[in-house]
Amino acid sequence: MNNYEFKVEEVNEPDLMKETFPYDEVPRINFEDKEVPTDLPKEIFITDTTFRDGQQGYAPFTLDQILHLYDYLHKLGGPKGIIRFSEFFLYSKTDREAVELCLERGYEYPKVTGWIRANKGDFDLVKKAKLDETGILTSISDYHMFYKFNQTRTETVEKYLNIVEDCLRHGIACRCHLEDVTRADIDGVVVPFVKNVMRLGEKYHLPVRIRLCDTLGLGVPYTFGTVPRSIPKIVWYLMNKAEVPHEMIEFHGHNDFGLAIANSTAAWLYGASTVNGTLLGIGERTGNTPIEAMIMQLIGLKHSGMGIDTKAIHEIADYFTHELKFNVPTYYPIVGENFNVTRAGIHADGLIKNEEVYLPFDTRKILGSPPSVAITKTSGLAGLVYWINNHYELLGDHKVEKNDPEIKVIYDWVMDQYDKGRIIPISEVELRKLVRKHLPDVIKKITEVRTS
């Protein structure tokens, strides 16, 4: 009935943008001469979807696991609430109990928020949960409107606006999830829909946030790219054509093309105050933007620790590994086993002389994870010396040196293992036995220091 103020551009057939998304080819990245300026907001934040999108690509969490992870999010976000919201499904009994228990924690941040589809039945779940805010799925591309809903643009958008207004009328703030925005008609559908949503927020004096959902990971961080794939330009459109303030714009990335972190960072740089992600990047298909990566990006952009407890990152990874039996890849950034471990002897030699040669920052101070080396056939004497000094915390005159004859004995044993066909690194247990056998004075000095 076209009851809203700003009309979407109606079409008889869906605009599938085949010049950009030919389907039988890799999606094309198009460019233009026009760029948009950077516009980093004064304050930037992170929101969490580990218990919503994260579970869709991993496995259901138990109540106890949800509470532990929620506690970790609170700890990691610090006193300024850098992790501002955590969103939950409301469909199962476990989901609803988790919301109740997390609310009972009484944390200011992250705030508990819901997620629903745009229908009355789902909205009833929000009212029963007594939440102050909920996300609403507002799929925005012709792919979804014509093929998933079998509706016109106008019919679909009116349905969304009706549920948004119902929420606001009941005093519940909204977050519109523009699903598949990177395949949507930005001028013809996104801008008029968002302008109507913002008017509703003004009418009811409640915040309405706009989440840009890069559902298939098709977004690109290039300011000279074209819409709908350019994340900087979509953010610019929202601010300048739909009049959405910084603090009401949020980006939700997927990692299908390996650009989730880059796109999330670009969203911040060009005006969005918030990016959404999951712990360790878990989520549907290739996963979401990893929260721990965005924590590091945020600190780098703001030149401040912001009160964030970065050591909690490794605590979270340990919990995932031991409690959730999650396999963190050894090469995974920041928390992977190899992040601050080197296998090359020439690298180990650099670490011995100055850690900064092969480390981007003090991992011991920032992550609570000291640098190390893996002992293999390429580690060399330097690697062996570094491992012993680092593992046993040997300082000053207590340090072992490469010219120690007993170090050479241990090194010869290591090389003999690989001469016989070994392919895996020497384990910590094996190395500790070798030190006890060949360097008894080292063990004695350590014992004396620790007991004095």
DSSP letter, residue 4: S
What is the reported pLDDT for 275?
98
- Which pair of structure tokens corresponds to residue 442? 């080292």
Residues in contact with 182: Cβ distance below 8 Å, sequence separation at least 6, in sequence order: 214, 215, 216, 218, 219, 228, 229, 231, 234
* CA nearest to 186, candidates 243, 228, 137, 242: 228
Same domain for 368 and 247: no
State percent of the chain over pLDDT 70: 95
Same domain for 300 and 270: yes
Same domain for 360 and 293: no
What is the reported pLDDT for 351?
66
CA distances from 202 to 189, 242, 417 (A): 20, 13, 72
CA distances from 323 to 12, 61, 320, 329, 422 (A): 53, 11, 6, 16, 31
- Binning pLDDT at 50, 70 and 90, where does residue 345 land? low
Last residue of a domain, one of 287, 322, 357: 322
What is the tens place of the pLDDT at every residue in 280-313?
Answer: 999 999 999 999 999 999 999 999 988 899 999 9
pLDDT at 1 over 60: no
Q: Long-range contact list for 324-328, CB < 8 A, 24+ apart?
A: 324/59, 324/61, 324/65, 326/58, 326/280, 326/282, 328/280
Q: What's the one-letter identity of residue 346?
A: I
Last residue of a domain, one of 322, 350, 368: 322
116 lies in some domain:
yes
Same domain for 253 and 217: yes
Same domain for 362 and 279: no
Question: What does the alpha-carbon distance between residue 53 and residue 276 come to, in Å, rounded to a whole number?
Answer: 10
Same domain for 274 and 235: yes
Same domain for 268 and 409: no
What is the reported pLDDT for 381?
87
Same domain for 315 and 346: no
Same domain for 382 and 264: no
Note whether 40 and 76 are within 8 A (CB): no
Note whether 276 and 42 are within 8 A (CB): no
- Binning pLDDT at 50, 70 and 90, where does residue 348 land? low
What is the tens place of the pLDDT at every residue in 435-446?
Answer: 999 988 877 776
172 lies in some domain:
yes
Note whether 292 and 334 are within 8 A (CB): yes
- Binning pLDDT at 50, 70 and 90, where does residue 449 land? low
What is the tens place of the pLDDT at every residue in 105-164?
Answer: 999 999 999 999 999 899 999 999 999 999 999 999 999 999 999 999 999 999 999 999
CA distances from 198 to 248, 304, 347 (A): 10, 33, 55
What is the tens place of the pLDDT at every residue in 242-283?
Answer: 999 999 999 999 999 999 999 999 999 999 999 999 999 999
32 lies in some domain:
no
Last residue of a domain, one of 293, 322, 351: 322
pLDDT at 343 over 50: yes
Same domain for 359 and 251: no
Strand partners, 283: none
141 lies in some domain:
yes
- Which pair of structure tokens corresponds to residue 164? 């948004």
Q: How many CB atoms lie within 10 A of CB 197?
A: 29
Place of tokens 């009309």: 7
* CA nearest to 122, candidates 87, 167, 161, 152: 167
Question: What does the alpha-carbon distance between residue 339 and residue 341 come to, in Å, rounded to a whole number?
Answer: 6
275 lies in some domain:
yes
Which tops the pLDDT comparison, 369 or 353?
A: 369
- Which pair of structure tokens corresponds to residue 357? 């040669």
Same domain for 401 and 255: no
pLDDT at 10 over 90: yes
- Which pair of structure tokens corresponds to residue 106? 């009484």
Question: What does the alpha-carbon distance between residue 279 and residue 69 come to, in Å, rounded to a whole number?
Answer: 9
294 lies in some domain:
yes
Please give the residue range of the domain that contains residue 264.
45-322
Q: Is 357 left (phi over 0), alpha (psi -120 to 50) or beta?
A: alpha
12 lies in some domain:
no
Instruction: Indicate the number of domains in the chain.
Output: 2
- Which pair of structure tokens corresponds to residue 19? 């010049």
Write phi, then psi, for 157 (nearest 5 degrees): -65, -40
Same domain for 191 and 231: yes
Question: What does the alpha-carbon distance between residue 259 and residue 271 come to, in Å, rounded to a whole number?
Answer: 18
Question: What does the alpha-carbon distance between residue 167 and residue 360 come to, in Å, rounded to a whole number?
Answer: 47
28 lies in some domain:
no
What is the reported pLDDT for 344?
65
pLDDT at 452 over 60: no
Q: What is the mean pLDDT of residues 10-30?
A: 97
Q: Which helix (H) or strand (E) holds 252?
A: strand 249-253
What is the tens place of the pLDDT at every residue in 152-203?
Answer: 999 999 999 999 999 999 999 999 999 999 999 999 999 999 999 999 999 9
Q: Which helix (H) or strand (E) holds 211?
A: strand 208-214
CATH number of the domain where residue 137 is located: 3.20.20.70
